[in-house]
A and B are shown apart, each in its own frame.
Chain A
Amino acid sequence: QTVVTQEPSFSVSPGGTVTLTCGLSSGSVSTRYYPSWYQQTPGQAPRTLIYSTNTRSSGVPDRFSGSILGNKAALTITGAQADDECDYYCVLYMGSGIWVFGGGTKLTVL
């Protein structure tokens, strides 16, 4: 069973840049996995930031960007703000009609 991996936690300074990654326990992530990224604050529904590797969802500021870095999908946040402090999830399409979420990254801005 392939596992989708994310850093459990990450820290960034206000105004700084952070890159979160989304990998596979076996193999490399490519665009054919259609990686997507979501932001979630406690008690709220997920908010889509990026889908299909690097397409920004409607209303998402351009300081959020998606890419493939090496063998992983990546979400880069530039100019980190206090309200970026929350959980971030990625999901990959594994083929055969199956999607798998990563375990999420708790981002701290301090």
Chain B
Amino acid sequence: QVQLVESGGGVVQPGRSLRLSCVASGFTLSTKGMHWVRQAPGKGLEWVAVIWSDGSKEYYVDSVKGRFTISRDNAKNTLHLQMNGLRAEDTAVYYCARDVGMCPVDWGQGTLVTVSS
């Protein structure tokens, strides 16, 4: 069955970078669009980014444009989120999710990113 496992979270100082990974199993990553969604402590879900199944397009929420980059390594069936210029407000649990019919459907367990000095 579909399984998504995120990693790469941790504590990082403001302005620094971090790269999250999401290893997919049970399906071929290159055949599906993939999302990153985050949830700040005690807050609701926030959609962050998507990459189209063919990798041709990437889209981002305004608050991360120019700082975050979503990418995929099809050979390793792995999704990435490169996060640069991190801010305190980026502190959240980050989830990857598989798209089914223009909807995030299958979710990983999440990885916590804490931005703090």
**Which residues of A pack against B, CB within 8 Å?**
34, 36, 38, 40, 45-48, 51-52, 55, 57, 87, 89, 91, 93, 96-104
Contacts and interface: CB of A to CB of B under 8 A. Distances in A.
B57 interface: yes
A104 B45 CA distance: 8
Contacts of B45: 38, 40, 46, 89, 91, 101, 104
Interface of B: 35, 37, 44-47, 50, 57-59, 61, 95, 100-110
A93 B47 CA distance: 10
Nearest to B51: A97
Given A89-B45, A101-B37, 7 more contacts: A46-B45, A52-B102, A52-B103, A89-B44, A101-B46, A101-B47, A102-B44
B102 A93 contact: yes
Nearest to B44: A104
Contacts of A87: 44
Given A96-B59, A97-B59, A98-B61, A48 B105 contact: yes
A86 to B, nearest CB: 13
B48 to A, nearest CB: 9
A72 to B, nearest CB: 17
Contacts of A96: 59
A38 to B, nearest CB: 7
Contacts of A99: 35, 47, 50, 104
Rank and list the top 6 A-B pairs by shortest CB-CB distance, nearest first: A97-B59, A51-B103, A99-B47, A36-B103, A34-B102, A104-B44
Contact of B44 (A48, A55, A98, A103): A103
A29 to B, nearest CB: 14
Find the residue from A55, A96, A97 having the highest chain B CB count within 10 A.
A97
17 contacts: A34-B101, A34-B102, A45-B95, A45-B108, A45-B110, A47-B107, A48-B104, A48-B106, A51-B105, A52-B100, A89-B44, A93-B102, A98-B47, A99-B47, A101-B46, A104-B44, A104-B45
